[in-house]
Amino acid sequence: MASCALSRAGHPFSTLAARVVCALFILSSTPVFAQTSGPPGDLSTLMQDPNQWVMPARDYANTRFSPLDQINTTNAHRLEPAWTFSVGVDRGQEAAPIIIGDTMYIVGPYAGPYPNRVFALDATSGELKWSYAPKPEPAAAGVACCDVVNRGLAYDNGKVFLNTLDAHTVAIDAKTGKELWHAKLGEINQGETITMAPIVARGKIIVGNSGGELGVRGWLTALDEETGRIVWRAYGTGPDADVLIGDDFDPFYKNLKGKDLGVKTWPADRWRIGGATAWGWVSYDPELNLLYYGTANPSPWNSNQRNGDNLWTATIFARDADTGHAKWAYQLNPHDEFDHDEINENVLVDLSIGGKPRKVLIHPGRNGYMYVIDRQTGEVLSADAYDPPITASKGVDLETGRLIPNEEKTPLLGKTIEDICPAAPGAKDWQPTAWSPRTHLLYVPHQHLCMSMKTSEVGYIAGTPFVGASVDMYAGHGGYRGEFMAWDPVARKRVWEIHESLPVWSGALVTAGDVAFYGTMDRLFKAVDARNGKLLWQFRAGSGFIGQPVTYKGSDGQQYVAILSGVGGWPGAIASADIDPRVRNAALGFAGATQDLPFYTAGGSELLVFKLADASELGAQGAQGTPAGQPAGSAPQPQQSPAPGDTNAQPQ
């Protein structure tokens, strides 16, 4: 396919040199890390250095685990702000900072005079080294589904890679901020945008599109990292040739075997406007040379207009990184009725299942089930409800792999169906989990919402909403709207949980110090004991958190923790965009669930960086909100967060 790698110049604002420090640190643990060698600056080598955070997920396995332990359960209460920086735009801040050597790279959302602006900062002092502003199409903001967010940057061999909302990928010189190339990947007049963070594998930039609520046909694309040339593109719907399904495609389940199922499982030509975008996370197993990712919802939401299983929507694919050819696939939600995209992360770990070692992926499904899947074959080993009660379905049949529908909740044209749990954003949306090889637990930030849904006929007009449903979301059973919890994938149960009043839309981070971090939409950034959920420390910021925490070691030898503060995204648009909170079905129904959010927070744009305070400078009282002198190893004690949050750690 022809590339559009042109020379669309951006604006580098300054050119202080950056240096890259690479220290080889081979990890021997259950997560799957790249063990290949490479020259200094090569991503597969850099991610083995515990002092850096070289991609939003930190590693190809998507663990978001840091081997650093300077900050631990005995001293986390001493955390204090080290420095801050504003990206200048008060909209949803979902991006993860990345740290290469002594330089931090961050990106802002698609808003303000410099949309998707990239900043290079000294990771220890916060000094600005350079910034780069692309020249995107302003019209892209008008077709973005759920706020104008960006989820982060990628890096490899001296280049930083940026996805812009107007469906371009840009390569930037990491030292100078100079644009090296850019490639146009989609058409905003068709509703295509890009919000996902790219990843780099085997010299290719892996990028997926957004726009399922506008009838976009989804794809995953690989670009040559040196030129921006398209190497391969795999569509999410359509004939096998387009989906890159060939003779070596071997799904585990029989119903997924057959010719051109991406056409035959749809009404005539509906696959052309059928969704299956790839706007979430991509994992990579270098030993198997396989990329893993999930596709999004079918279009429109009104399932009455698209009979059939609607392949390959709501599907996990395993693809050859070199060719893009699918090796296996598994559809989690055949004929999805509730907008349950399955773009969530696939965490690659090696576990003992039934007494046997298995190479698996853990997928916290938007449909409310925690999947453990053999990543070599696509066999579902377990699928357990992690956000009960689930009313949208009755479970997963492990013999067939199929979701068991609850016919009482089947959408009927023109009829309001109530108490559908989980709601359209799922039990968990894009906000990523973290896995600790020390505790063997998965740390899950998620929402706890139900909804009422009424479907209606909708016509397709390119670049306009193609939904066909009115949704009203509200707190799930129990009255809370969010939760941060720890899940044991071998025992197939939760270990502890922390209820929050509002959806927990931030990512998670866990460290070798046995500290887990997450943020709340009511402006609290929290550190908890990874083993029992006990609150260790919290910090009240100027705006709510929907970003991704990361940690790294500065040039001064100190461990730092960083996160962007700025409420927005799908659940927070009501507080950062011009949305009337009295209209419950606004923001595709999320306004109903977060009507009170504007009373607690507004939009923000601040990068917050923390480190440990000198113990000699602390008095009898610990850091903000946390009593000092509390034994770190004691049993979890209820910790009442300031309103509206409820942070009772509940061991199971």
Q: Which of 51, 297, 302, 333 is catalytic?
A: 297
| Per-residue pLDDT, 416 | 97
Buried b (16+ CB within 10 A) or exposed e, 408-447: ebebeeeeebeebbbbbbbbbbbbbbbbbbbbbbbbbbbb
Whether residue 132 is contained in a domain is answered as: no
User: Span 563-576, mean pLDDT?
Assistant: 86
Is 1's pLDDT higher than 60? no
**487 preceded by a cis bond (ω within 30 of 0):** no
Residue 397 lies inside a defined structural domain of this protein: yes
When pLDDT is cut at 50, 70 and 90, the band that residue 25 belongs to is: very low
Which residues touch 450 (CB under 8 Å, ≥6 apart)?
391, 419, 420, 421, 422, 423, 473, 474, 475, 476, 477
Can you give the pLDDT at residue 639? 36
Question: Taking 70 as the threshold, does the pLDDT of residue 34 lie above it?
Answer: no
Dig out the tokens for 1 from the structure.
């396919």
Q: Which residues pair with 608 in a beta bridge?
A: 84, 563
Residue 550 CB-half CA count within 13 A: 30
What whole-number distance in Å separates Cα of residue 182 and Cα of residue 171? Answer: 6
Token pair in block for residue 507: 């990512």
**Phi–psi pair at 270, nearest 5 degrees:** -65, -25
pLDDT surpassing 50 at residue 8: no
Number of domains observed in the structure of the chain: 1
Q: Is residue 23 part of a domain?
A: no
With a pLDDT cut of 90, the percent of the chain lying above it is 79
Catalytically annotated residue among 49, 339, 387, 522: 339
CA–CA separation, 299 and 215 (whole Å): 5
Quick one: pLDDT band at residue 433, thresholds 50, 70, 90?
very high
Report the pLDDT value the prediction gives residue 589, as an integer from 0 to 100: 81
Percent of the chain with pLDDT over 70: 88
Domain membership of residue 414 (yes or no) is yes
635-to-358, 510, 527, 594, 623 alpha-carbon distances in Å: 33, 19, 16, 33, 20
Q: CB atoms < 10 A from the CB of 374, how many?
A: 17
Contacts of 225 (CB under 8 A, 6+ apart): 156, 157, 159, 161, 171, 200, 203, 204, 205
Domain span at residue 563?
A: 31-102+255-651
pLDDT band at 21 (very low <50, low <70, confident <90, very high): very low
- Return d(Cα 9, Cα 51) in angstroms, integer: 33
β-bridge partners, 393: 405
Q: How far apart are CA 473 and CA 420, in angstroms?
A: 9
Integer Cα distance of 139 and 143 in angstroms: 7
- Mean pLDDT score of the chain, rounded to an integer? 89
The question of whether 213 is a catalytic residue gets the answer: yes
Least confident among 222-226, 319-323, 457-461, 577-581: 577-581
Which tens digit of pLDDT belongs to each residue from 467-483? 999 999 999 999 999 99
Cα 636 vs. chain centroid, distance in angstroms? 29
Q: Which of 6-15, 210-219, 372-381, 509-518 has the lowest mean pLDDT?
A: 6-15
Tokens 């941060």 sit at which residue?
484
280 pLDDT higher than 90 = yes
Structural contact between residues 43 and 52, judged by C-beta atoms closer than 8 angstroms: no
In a domain, 216, yes or no: no
- Annotated catalytic residue 339: yes
Residue 214 belongs to some domain of the structure: no
pLDDT of residue 384: 98
Specify the amino acid at residue 486.
A
**Is pLDDT at 632 greater than 80 in this prediction?**
no
Tell me the mean pLDDT in the region 164-169: 94
Q: What is the pTM of this model?
A: 0.90
470 in any annotated domain? yes
Q: Which of 213, 320, 336, 483 is catalytic?
A: 213
Provide the CATH number for the domain around residue 484.
2.140.10.10
Q: Is 297 among the catalytic positions?
A: yes
**Structure-block tokens of residue 520:** 């709340």
In a domain, 185, yes or no: no
Long-range contacts of 159-163 (CB under 8 A, 24+ apart): 159/225, 160/105, 160/118, 160/120, 161/198, 161/200, 161/205, 161/225, 162/107, 162/116, 162/118, 162/132, 162/134, 162/198, 163/194, 163/195, 163/196, 163/197, 163/198, 163/207
pLDDT at 148 over 80: yes
